[in-house]
Structure 1
Amino acid sequence: MTTTQPGLLTGPAPALTAAGRAANRSRRRRRLSRVGVALAGALLVLLALVAIAPGLFTGRAPNETDLAQTMASPSGAHWFGTDQLGRDVFARVLHGARTSLLVGVGSTAFALLGGTVLGLAAALSGRVGDQVLMRFADVLLSLPSLLLALLLALLLALLLALLAVTVLGTGTVNVMLAVAIAFVPGYARIVRAEALVVRRSGYVEAAVGLGLPRPVLVARHVLPNTLGPLLVLGAVGFGTSVIYASGLSFLGLGAGPPSPEWGAMLSEGRSFLATAWWIGVFPGLAITVTVVAVNIVGRFAQRRFAGRTS
């Protein structure tokens, strides 16, 4: 008759069970994360569709007034209620997506372009040029980004007031350029760091030894290998650009009335929070949902990119 020692079978069981529970929790978190990223991505696609063709989702004009329906609460006739002029808030939020997202995309694109040019110039120039450009970037980075964007918006408002700006409107151009310039130094430092690593790599040194012209070297080897992390960070920075642009519009430096821009609508609604909360709450929710969705997708892309390069 054989006997088993107590503990040979019972000892490891609790540890295995705890490890299994931890693995199950990890799998559940990954599944929930994938579901969240999928929902955020679907929401961004929907927002892009709304910005391109808001007429597909509402038949009302954003500036159509109805003085008999001023400050009507949300109902079947007006899903988000009406404002102080009887304008449908739902229609204004949908039509405002175009301006708000366009400013976010435009400012991010300009910031990426400016950061790339400045960063490459610093990395590929001599020591003196690198020091001058990076000290200039450090001066800009020493200021809070929102404060810098506010100061730039004020200066640009004075400058563009003297020019004929008719493409998007003076206020929109002010905000787009101000936010872009505020983000350029951060992107420039990232590009410079990546370009310095690429420049010292073996294949670049071999290309230099083979006599490859400098412009071809930059376009074929340096630039493509520096844009990867920059584009991922730009996706995350897009959400911050939307917040900053809406904040400047809230302060009256963006698109002026009656433009249905989210920040301007939020500014209009703050005077009616006690009597008609929906005028300001729904534009604020639109900003919040957009930024959260962008951050979820951007952080996911950042983790995937870091995993591939590690």
Structure 2
Amino acid sequence: MGSSDKSQEQCLYKEWMRLQEQELSELLHHHSLNLNNTTDDTNDAEMTQLLEKIIQHFQDYCDNRRRLAHSHVSAFFSPTWCTTLENSMSWIAGCRPSSFFNLVYALCGSNIDSRLSHFLRATHDRYCFTTMHTKRTTSYGDRLVLIEQNIKIHSDGNNSDFPKLSASQLSAIDKLQRRTMIEEEMLTAQMASLQQHMADMPLALIARGLSPRHELNPDVKKGLGKIEQAMHSAMHDADNLRLNTVKELCKILKPLQALEYIIAAKKLRLCIQSWGIQRDREHHGD
């Protein structure tokens, strides 16, 4: 990869992170205005428009990454322009889409163990048995739906600790999470197979027959080219999964919920970068 290519990739990343800061400021400003405005329909329309713009920026970023990756896709899997902390958390040149759901549950305060304890104390023994059985046999989102339904029956409706998400939203998020994790696992398996292929035929035999200088001859270039092509395809699929997961989540959430979610996601992303910079400085004694 030429220095100009590396410079373009690094510039793209820096521009993207600057955009995160700009968008976060815009989101926080809009959120503060929303708290003082009671015109729900107008607010929802404005928030939806803002969220669509931000998602389009994400789409543009993925498209630009894909274009630059044609010249040297390996660089995106271990980018020198990111911190070691960021790289250690990377999954196929980005974040895991399944982590998006952890943030949703964290924001709505969905600590399943504490809610089960509350539920068990507040309900009849038959509900206790049902919930304990459900905890063993159903998913995280489904358990939250059951807990919400039964706590509503046995509470006065003023439980401020309960998640803001409705039962139908939790169910929809759970279904999306299941689909996302299946696709994520398939891509993970593809990458594992690709990495195993590095030690497989014909590269293994080529390496065995090379001189100590390990020259990059035409046969090696051909073999590596096929692997890089597969890596580019995997990165493309992973980016699409990340993008589509965010889109689907924002459709399930109400505009204000989606706004708060994107704010939290951008704060987390910027914090990870900042923490990574600080940790790298500590390790290098700067």
Asked if TM exceeds 0.5, the reply is no
Give the TM-score normalised by structure 1: 0.30
User: Quick one: higher RCO (CA 8 Å, sep 6+), 1 or 2?
Assistant: 2
Give the TM-score normalised by structure 2: 0.32
Which is higher, the Rg of structure 1 or of structure 2? 1
